[in-house]
Amino acid sequence: MKCKIERNTVQETLILPLYSRKLCTELYPNLYKDETAARLLDQIDYDFSEAEKNSRSLMQRFGALEVAMRQSDLAFEVRDYLKGHPNAAVVNLGCGLDNTGRACDNGRCKIYNLDFPDVIALRQQLLPAGNREQNIPCDLKDTAWFGKIDASGGVVFFASGVFYYFLTQQVRELVRGMADAFPGGVLVFDAANRTAVKMIAKTWLKTAKIKDVGAYFAVSDAAKEIGTWNSRLQVTSRGYMLGYNDLRDPSVSGFFRFLARVGDNGMKMQIVKIRF
């Protein structure tokens, strides 16, 4: 039997990146590979006809490339942290059905995947926790989950496509709490400015016909805006389309590279890195 996803919930948003990762694996095999995404999509009871229809449009393809790029940027940061802290905890915040933790597994780290209970129940069926891995049901806004992370070997947190659905004040409280609880840890996540976040709500959520879910948290100058939240935070950021990869692959058109520059520079699409 296939697993069902409830419509019009924030959980349903996990379908968008999952589908994008499958699409990018087909369209840009030199740049990106996520074989689990295609396998999982077959096992989910969800009407993909809309996504399939949209996948032919140029903007949906570019959106899919964005999703794939942010995933490889975050994986780069996780692997980089593991070089200096091989026994660290690798924590996927709002994991959906993303398997980045395991893709970065060095054979020694501890992997934690956190999401709402119904998503974790689905994940347990489709991606049961492996060695040194735990799937933890929680609401990220309730800090009770802090106690479940063994950060004795260091900790790297990443959140992909998650904080857009939080209010600024909620991200601030979470980041402050994490900074106090996990000194020496690192948090990486994708963000964008107000214009881009409005577009996410208008185009992505609307074309996918996901109702009652808003997008809120936006950042323009990360160091300036987030750096003031807590004096301990060291904040840096890199463009998320071109900050880690020059996209100079024949499969990527000149037009898409132009859009990538507009995204990074005009919309401030970025990977924010906070050292606690």
19 binds ligand SAM (CB under 6 A): no
Q: Which letter does DSSP use for residue 163 in this model?
A: G
Distance CA 221, CA 10 (A): 27
Amino acid, single-letter form, for residue 9? T
Q: Which positions ≥6 away from 116 have C-beta within 8 Å?
A: 10, 11, 137, 138, 139
Q: Does 165 bind ligand SAM (CB under 6 A)?
A: yes
Q: What are phi and psi of 209, to 5 degrees?
A: 60, 35
Distance, CA of 242 to CA of 172 (rounded, Å): 27
Among 140, 192, 196, 208, binds ligand SAM (CB under 6 A): 140
Which lies closer to ligand SAM via its Cβ, residue 205 or residue 267? 205
Binding pattern for the stretch 228-257 against ligand SAM, x by CB under 6 A and - elsewhere: ------------------------------
CA distance 200 to 216: 10
Question: Is residue 162 within the footprint of ligand SAM (CB under 6 A)?
Answer: yes
What does residue 87 show for φ and ψ, rounded to 5 degrees? Answer: -100, 15
Residue with the two structure tokens 């463009």: 239
Q: Where in 185-224 is the site for ligand SAM (CB under 6 A)?
A: none
Return the sign of the alpha-carbon dihedral for residues 162, 166, 169, 173: negative
Q: How far is the CB of 256 from ligand SAM (least distance, A)?
A: 20
Near ligand SAM by CB under 6 A: residue from 5, 90, 119, 196: 119
Shortest Å distance, C-beta 68 to ligand SAM: 10
Distance of alpha carbon 124 from alpha carbon 136, whole angstroms = 10
Stretch that binds ligand SAM, among 10-18, 177-185, 239-247, 258-266 (CB under 6 A): 10-18
* H or E element in which residue 174 lies: helix 168-181
> Taking contact as CB under 6 A, which single stretch among the options 56-64, 158-166, 204-212, 222-230 is the one that binds ligand SAM?
158-166
User: Using CB under 6 A, which of 19, 28, 116, 217 touches ligand SAM?
Assistant: 116
Region binding ligand SAM by CB under 6 A among candidate stretches 6-14, 149-157, 242-250, 252-260: 6-14
What whole-number distance in Å separates Cα of residue 212 and Cα of residue 135?
Answer: 27
> Which residues are 134's β-sheet partners?
112
β-bridge partners, 135: 113
Task: Tell me if 134 contacts ligand SAM by CB under 6 A.
Answer: no
Give yes or no for a contact between 98 and 71, defined as CB atoms under 8 angstroms apart.
Answer: yes
DSSP state of 12: G
Stretch that binds ligand SAM, among 26-34, 115-123, 127-135, 195-203 (CB under 6 A): 115-123
- Report the residue number, 88 or 93, with the smaller CB distance to ligand SAM: 93
State which of residues 63, 101, 154, 161 lies at the interface with ligand SAM (CB under 6 A): 161
Binding-residue pattern over the window 75 to 114 for ligand SAM, x denoting contact by CB under 6 A? -------------------xxx-x----------------
Residues that bind ligand SAM (CB under 6 A): 10-11, 13-14, 16-18, 94-96, 98, 115-116, 119, 139-141, 160-162, 165
